[in-house]
Amino acid sequence: MKNLILFTILLCIVRSAAAQTRVTDVTQLPLKGRVKQVVTYTFRGGNHVEPDTTASAEKTIETFDEKGWALEEKMYDKSGELMERFSFEYMGDSIAVKNQFDGSGKLFVKYIYKYDAQGKITEFDMSSDAQPQIRLAKIDYRCIYKYDVLGDRVTEEQYIDHNKLSMKTTSHYNDQHQRIQSDEESFFGKTVKVSKILYFYDASGRPVKSKIYDVDGKLTGGNAVSNDNYDKFGNWLTQIASYSGHNTNQGDFIFKHISKRQIDYY
């Protein structure tokens, strides 16, 4: 449970960092059409994942209103037990709040998204109360986003305890406004860790792969994703994603998961 909750928090951070505009609408997943509900079955594993039946999968249910804004998200484990629930609140077009509850209904993480007049996210804040039973420490996290004159996000500054800079990311784009490289500086006390991420796209402009390099130019990890079986609106129904890397305990490793979606429309 500890790893799942930490992974969920990280996923929310990643989603906020990846989206160019409102994080909490269907277009940022991304989805096309007047989506009402998405049910996603996820099968996780190592090198080999076999999506035999939805009964052995984790399940996520996301619902949206007729404007395409998120209403609620529920996450269930393989046994069908509710693990986490998210609810959404909106303050006009400038602020969205995402509340995260545990399986018992207790609120323990709050995410706040702030937007400019063009709908681009300018700030992301996250706060969490300490949860000793699941070893989740109290967290105060903030990320500031800045854009160039073309509207591409060029810098992201992440802070912990509100004012302690923990990471700075500078991004570079091609003529199609696709992010092709990010340079990251992570700050650990007096130590600065530098890394580089390269991004790759298919012929349709969809992201398919990323590679992570350390300061010496050594490949340390990467992500890959492939989508298949699209519906009539162009939304994928099957996705295979993987993360590969290396550490001293495991050596080279790869973690894969397969997702299958059922999408209902208004």
pLDDT at 10: 41
Return the pLDDT at 233.
94
* Structural domain that includes position 156: 2-265
First to last CA, the chain: 35
251 pLDDT band (50/70/90 cuts)? Answer: confident
- pLDDT tens sequence across 51-80: 555 557 899 999 999 988 899 999 999 899
What is the Cα–Cα distance from 175 to 161, expressed in whole angstroms? 37
What SS3 state is found at 8?
helix
Could you give the CA distance from residue 39 to residue 130 in angstroms, rounded to a whole number?
A: 31
- 89 contacts: CB under 8 Å, gap ≥ 6: 96, 97, 99
CATH number at residue 17: 2.40.160
How many Å apart are CA 185 and CA 169, to the nearest integer? 6
Domain count, the chain: 1
The pTM of the full predicted model, rounded to 2 decimals, is 0.81
